[in-house]
Structure 1
Amino acid sequence: MDVCLSSEQQTTHLQEAPRTPDGCFALAAEGAPREEGTGGPPGDATEAGPPLPGLQQFVPTDYESYTQEHYLFAGAKIVIQESIESYGAVVWPGATALCQYLEEHSEELNLQDAKVLEIGAGPGLVSVVASLLGAQVTATDLPDVLGNLQYNLLKNTVNRAAHLPAVRELVWGESLEQRFPRSAFYYDYVLASDVVYHHYFLDKLLATMAHLCQPGTVLLWANKFRFSTDYEFLDKFKQVFDTTLVAEFPESSVKIFQGILKWG
C-alpha cells in the first residue's frame, strides 16, 4: 500500500482510497476545489465542504507563503499554487516549454486516452495540461511534493478533464519493480521537465526513465541546459535511448528530446 506522508509537519493520517486500474490513487470526480480567497490554510482543497469521496488526502507542506500563478494552455486558464521555498513547488522553464509542445502537437501525439506518466511532476502544470488534452495521467514525485501537486491537479481538472489524474509517490531508483512492475504498468508516454540539474541522483533518474519505458513508450524530456552536468547526462541518455531533438527554445535555453528505449 502506498502511504505518502510528506514531512513531520504532515501528521494527518492518510486513509486508503480507491485505486485506478493501474494501482494509483485517483483524484475524486465529485465535489469542487476551493475557490481562491476562501478561508483555511494554503492548499486545503476541500475546506469549502466535506472531504471529497475517494480522495487520497495528501497534505501540502506548510510553507510560509504560496502564490497563485496563472497559465493558459489547452484552451483553459490554469491556476497553479507555487512556493519558492521548494524546487518541487515551482514551475520551471522546461515545464512551460513542454506544455507548449504538447499543446501544439496534441493531434500528432494522439494524447486522447493515452496513458501518461510524469516524472518529477512538481506543482503539476505538465500533468494538468496532459489531462486537459485527454490523457490518462499519473503524476509522480517525492513525498513532500505530493500534497501541493494533488491540490493543483484537483483544482484544475475536476469537471474539465475526461480522465482525472492520479498521484503516486516515486523516488528515483528505489523499489521500481515493486512499485511499478513492468508486467502491470505500461505507458504510452513518459514526461519529464527540468529534472536534470546539479544534484546527485542523475544515475538513478536515468535508471528510472529506462524502467518506466517499454516497447512503444515515447519519453519526452524537456530541460533548461544550465550546467556541464546537464550535457553529461544527455550523453548518458543517448547511450540508453534513441534520441531526437524535437524542439528548442533559444530564449530560455530549453531543449526537448524524444527518447525511445534501446533494446538488445
Structure 2
Amino acid sequence: MWECYFASRSKNSQVCVCPGPPQTAHSCPSAGKLVFSGGGTESWGWSRTSLASATQPMAPEHALVSHHLEETSHLDFVSLSSRVILFCASLQPRSLRASPRLRESSNKIEPSLRSLQKFVPTDYASYTQEHYVFAGTEIVIQESIESYGAVVWPGATALCQYLEEHTEELNLQDAKILEIGAGPGLVSTVASILGAQVTATDLPDVLGNLQYNLLKNTLKRAAHLPEVKELVWGASLEQHFPRSTFYYDYVLASDVVYHHYFLDKLLATMVYLCHPGTVLLWANKFRFSTDYEFLDKFKQVFDTTLLAEFPESSVKIFKGILKWD
C-alpha cells in the first residue's frame, strides 16, 4: 500500500494531498496512481510530494513530483533507478514549468559570483527559488524537481535547526566541516554562516547548482567561503581526500540514506572520512526498512547517540564517533 506525504514550503507538518479533505499521512487508495486535488493555501507556488512504499509491490525507489495547487493532475507512478526523476506524459505540462522570467533569473549568474563559479549549474527547466531562515539570515536556495540532488529534503532542514540551536555547544566557529551529499547546499550554507570552514561535496552533476547557492548565500556573509568538491561514495577517496592531508572536526550528512544501491559505499565513505576526534552528525527521514538496516550497520562501526527526533517528519539526528578498537 502506498503512503503519500506532502511537505509544504512554509510548514514542517505533513498533510495528505490525496482526494478528500487534508489530513495526516495515510495509505493511498490507489497503488500506482495518485490523484492530486487542488484547494491548497499556496495556490501560486510550488509544492513537493515524495512517495514511499511500505510493501513495495512495484519495487519503486523514491519519486518526487511537483504540481500547481490550483489544478488537479494525474500521475501514473514511474519506478526510478537513478537520481533523475521521471514523469509520465499525462501530468499537465504547466505543472512542470517555471515561468520564463523565473528561468531567466535563476539561470543567470551574478557578475560578483561569475569569477568564483567553477562549476556550471545544470540547465533544468523547473528551477524555483525557495526561502529559508536560519541563524537570523534569509537564505534563498535554487532548487529543481528534476534531480534528487537539487532538492532540500526534511533531514537537511532538521540538521540546520540543530546546528543553529547548538552552535556554541558544537563550537562551530572555525571548525572544519565536510558535508556528504550536500545537494543544493542548505546545510553547508548554514554551517558557513555559523562560522565553520566548510567543504561541500556531491556528485558531479550536482556541483554547479550547489556552488551557485553557496556563493549566493555566503559571499560577504560568512568568515570562510565554502569549498565545493566532487565526492563519489567509495571511489578514489585516498586520491581526492588523502588521510594524511584532510582532517575534519565534523562530517555532516542529511537524507543520504534511502532506497538506493550504494549504502555500503556510503558507510565506507563515512568511516574513511572520520579521524580520531571527528564527530559525524547524520540526519535522516526514516522511510524504508532498509534505512533501519543501515542504522544497525552504522551502530556497529560508530558509537551512536540519538541527538534529536522530529516525529512530525520522521527525522532522527544521530551523532557518531568512529570505534577505533
Q: 1:70 is matched with which residue?
A: 131
1:44 alignment partner AA: K
Partner of 2:195: 134
What do the CA deviations read for 1:25-66 (whole angstroms, capped 9, x no partner)? xxxxxxxxxxxx7995633323x46832xx242011111110
User: Pairwise CA RMSD of aligned residues?
Assistant: 1.5
Query: Which residue pairs with 1:189 in the alignment?
Result: 250
Match of 1:42 in 2: 106
Q: Name the residue aligned to 2:305.
A: 244
- Supply the distance in 1 between the matched residues of 2:324 and 2:256 (Cα, whole angstroms): 24
Percent sequence identity over aligned pairs? 84
Give the 3-state SS of the residue equivalent to 2:114 in structure 1: coil
What residue identity is the alignment partner of 2:254?
A: S
Consecutive unaligned residues of structure 1, counting only runs of 5 or more, are 1-36
- The CA deviation string for residues 110-129 of structure 1, in whole angstroms up to 9 with x for no partner, is 00000000000000000000
Larger relative CO (CA 8 A, sep 6+): 1 or 2?
1
Q: For residues 173-222 of structure 1, what are the alpha-carbon distances to aligned partners after superposition, in whole Å with 9 as ceiling and x for unaligned?
A: 00011111110000000000000000000000000000000000000000
Q: What CA distance in whole angstroms lies between the structure 1 residues aligned with 2:170 and 2:188?
A: 15
User: Residue type of the partner of 2:270?
Assistant: M
Go from structure 1 to structure 2 and tell me whether the alpha carbon gap of 1:187 and 1:49 turns closer, same or farther (over 3 Å shift). Answer: closer
CA gap of 1:117–1:100, structure 2 versus 1, over 3 A, is same
Of 111, 121, 126 in structure 2, the residue corresponding to residue 60 of structure 1 is 121
Instruction: Identify the residue that residue 51 of structure 1 maps to in structure 2.
Output: 114
* Corresponding letter in the other structure for 1:51: R
> Following TM superposition, by how much is the alpha carbon of 1:93 offset from its aligned partner in structure 2, in angstroms?
0.2
Residue of structure 2 equivalent to 1:95 = 156
SS in 2 for 1:134: coil
Report if aligned partners of 1:44, 1:151 keep a CA contact under 8 Å in 2.
no
With the length of structure 1 as denominator, give the TM-score of the two structures. Answer: 0.83
- Show the counterpart of 1:198: 259
Q: Secondary structure at the match of 2:265?
A: helix
CA contact (8 A) 1:43 1:148 kept: no
CA contact (8 A) 1:221 1:256 kept: yes
Partner of 1:25: none
The whole-number CA distance in structure 1 between the counterparts of 2:159 and 2:260 is 22
- Tell me whether 1:173 sits opposite 2:237 in the alignment: no
Distance in 1 between residues matched to 2:103 and 2:147, nearest whole Å: 23
1:45 touches 1:155 (CA, 8 Å); kept in 2? no
Runs (5+) with no aligned partner, structure 2: 1-100
Amino acid at match of 1:113: D
Q: Is the 8 A contact 2:192 2:226 kept in 1?
A: yes
On the 8 A contact 2:103/2:127 being kept in 1, the answer is no
The aligned length equals 225
Taking the aligned partners of 2:261 and 2:280, their CA distance within structure 1 comes to 22
Q: Which residue does 2:97 correspond to in 1?
A: none
Structure 1 ranges of 4+ moved more than 3 A: 37-44, 48-51
Match of 1:224 among 273, 285, 289: 285
Residue identity opposite 1:80 in structure 2 = I
